[in-house]
Structure 1
Amino acid sequence: MVDKVGKVVVPGEVLSDLLGSDSSLKIVLGPGIRQDVDSVIVSKPGVLKFKEPNIYWIDSFQKRYVAQKGDTVIGIVTAKAGDVFRVDVGANELATLSYLAFESATKRNRPDVKAGDLVYCKFLVANKDMEPELVCIDGSGKSGGLGVIGRDGGMLIQVPINSIQKLLSPECVLFKTLGKSLKYEVAVGMNGRIWIQCRTVIETIAVANAISASQHMTNEDIQNMCKQMTDSLAGF
């Protein structure tokens, strides 16, 4: 285990013992860490985090999303340019989404996508030398839940990017606790955008408020908050 895990690191700092760890597994470098030949270097300030069995990343508070290959995000279609859609994902540049990057899409059978639509998609290409590229299909050509969302309602909210890791952690009880008393759909993007839809507008707003409020809560606080919220919705 790297001795700097859980400690604050700064850009340019070399994690000399990371590649030299005794693990037989290949190390996976997440956001905020890059490999330069035989060195692993920190690229943004924050706390070094580790997840079993072999994943390291920097947990930092950042306002602007930095695209990472494989990240699932929620984008907003801004325009169509030739055979691709231009998509705002909250990064410093727009990403492209081909009309063929949808399940069952062909030159004759084009997807129904319009400017202003929300798309739940994944980064296929994301590096400094190439234009970021998105897809709405998995490796087998299936949508797997990706695609246009929100046309029949719902709410899109923005939370701090570092809060997404907490919400998606298996240890976080928020979504499980909410699901015990409410029926809802949720799409969580690594770019800090979350789309929620419940049976009623009031329930949707309540779930959105619960997500926003949970950012600095313990699991016990989250459970208490969810109970109070469901009691309130039930008219107690």
Structure 2
Amino acid sequence: MATKSQLDTTPLPLKTVITIDGTEYSIDASPIPYLASFVDFESKARPDATTLVHGPIPLFPVALKGVESGYRHCFRGIPADISQYHILCETYQFLGVDVLDGQGLDEISANLKAGKPNYELEYASYEEIRGDKSKARNAAFKLLYLMLLGEFRDEKRDAAKVFNAVLFVVSHSATFKRGTRTSVQLAYEDRFVITEKQAAMLNKWADKSNKENSHMEDDSTTEEEDSTGFSSDGYDYDWDLD
């Protein structure tokens, strides 16, 4: 009988040691096209080199964490400062990272709801199936990226759909932490002209979520450490903004 090691033929990702801005990283460059090209070029140009050295790349530690562990970690790496998120998204663009992975607004919006629990009928009673908060939080960063650097077929028409997605994030504090909610709202306000009605809706939910979760929220917590907290997660929104 074949052993487990014999059956598992999946190759481990090859990692390259690169010093970037004075800090040494062991990186699998394959999901980062710019670095993959850099490693390939340097290995051919200097085959005897023992180390690869690259200059500063803005917010590279945060960008790398997002690639390796999920984009939700970007919200933990920088404050709710829209200028910092512009820099981070531009760094991803420079590195050639496909943050959206081919996803459009509709798919991102659907994934935002992955954090909500589902219920299945089991032996005459309903059993709760825990939602995937990691997937939802990764989608929140993709939404932010789409707003800052993405293109829309019809900016006026899509603005309402984007607002509904943003409102979903802001109003679901059991899934999205304060830094995420604030940053996503700031990205919307940066990209679109916000109406008084929209601002009132967002600020209402932001104030309510912040007050009721101020004693338990921490953007550094892991999914396993999450507490339930205030939640409007039983409701979906599709506001008529006309």
Same fold (TM over 0.5): no
Instruction: Decide which structure has the larger Cα Rg and report it.
Output: 2
Task: Write 1 or 2 for the structure with the bigger share of helix.
Answer: 2
Task: Write 1 or 2 for the structure with the bigger share of strand.
Answer: 1
TM-score, normalised to structure 1's length?
0.30
